[in-house]
Amino acid sequence: MQGPLIISLDVSTRGDLFSLIDKFDRDEKLTVKIGMEFFYGEGPQIVRDLLDRGYDIFLDLKLHDIPNTVKNGMKQIGRLGVTFTTVHALGGSEMIAEAKQGLVEGAKEAGVPTPKLLAVTELTSITPEGLANEQNSKLSMVDQVVSLAKLAKSSGADGVITSPLEVSALKREVGDDFWYVTPGIRPKDFPKDDQSRTASPAEAAEYGSSALVVGRPIIKAADPVAAYHKMLEEWEDAKR
């Protein structure tokens, strides 16, 4: 993938999306995330357009349905040529395995590389209290995330989406040969918004995140390009 800092393009229209990415230098190597806000409104053409610009794409639709439905949905996603895509780990082992199979089949038919399948563990907006009281989990947040990551790995996923706060435990318990892609990234001076389990880019680097997902701290910044480079530098400095 191009760059460890994935920009989450959480906007609704092509106009908003291009006015944002046109601020970046055309030969800047970027990985960008398209989520449900844009995709439900504008559909898959944007993936082709961004691929034409040479970007790597993370298509984050977080599928969660019965295994057959997810497999067939993933077959379509597999054809697009994206680098990453997502399911919810809570969909279970059969759903995750079928998701992977769908991606493999779709990519093979289209002659493109198979996207990496990332399973969302517990959303970064979920608090430990929410996990206990709304999901009735008896596990701590970290144990819950480790348990879902083990399930995802044994079912064929390539990695998980989780908060940076759980990554050190995940690396110990699930291994280094797995992607730990972490949203919930907040520079020290930026509000948490609806995120709960957050960390700065430097902290995420220290915990061992494989890649960061950043939306509002970049796309709402007065200067998105400067905000992107500042966070990237913070990450790179912490890695040295």
Ligand X SMILES: O=c1ccn([C@@H]2O[C@H](COP(=O)(O)O)[C@@H](O)[C@H]2O)c(=O)[nH]1
Residues assigned a catalytic role? 60, 62, 65
Distances from the Cα of 198 to the Cα of 58, 77, 165, angstroms:
20, 29, 7
Query: 32: how many CB neighbours lie within 10 A of its CB?
Result: 21
Q: Which is nearer to ligand X, 97 or 123 (CB)?
A: 123
Q: Residue 207: which H helix or E strand, with range?
A: helix 201-207
Is 183 a known ligand-binding residue? no
Q: Which is nearer to ligand X, 60 or 111 (CB)?
A: 60
Rounded to the nearest angstrom, the gap between the alpha carbon of residue 47 and the centroid of all alpha carbons in its chain is 16
Is 201 a known ligand-binding residue? no
**Whole-angstrom distance, CA of residue 208 vs CA of residue 160:** 13
**Closest distance between ligand X and the C-beta of residue 197, in Å?**
8
**Whole-angstrom distance, CA of residue 124 vs CA of residue 144:** 13
**Closest distance between ligand X and the C-beta of residue 138, in Å?**
21
Distances from the Cα of 26 to the Cα of 30, 50, 193, 214, angstroms:
10, 11, 31, 20
Is 88 a known ligand-binding residue? no
Angle between helices 167-174 and 141-154 (to 10 degrees): 40
Q: Which is nearer to ligand X, 90 or 112 (CB)?
A: 90
CB environment 192-211: b (16+ within 10 A), e (fewer): eeebbbbbbbbbbbbbebbb
**Closest distance between ligand X and the C-beta of residue 217, in Å?**
6
Is 195 a known ligand-binding residue? yes
Is 69 a known ligand-binding residue? yes
**Closest distance between ligand X and the C-beta of residue 27, in Å?**
25
Which residue, judged by CB position, is nearest to ligand X in the bound state?
215
**Residues 212/235, Cβ–Cβ less than 8 Å:** yes
Binding site for ligand X (CB under 6 A): 8, 10, 35, 120, 123-124, 161, 183-184, 193, 195, 213-217
Q: Which is nearer to ligand X, 10 or 234 (CB)?
A: 10
Binding residue positions: 10, 33, 60-69, 124, 186, 195, 215-216
Binding residue positions for substrate: 10, 33, 60-69, 124, 186, 195, 215-216
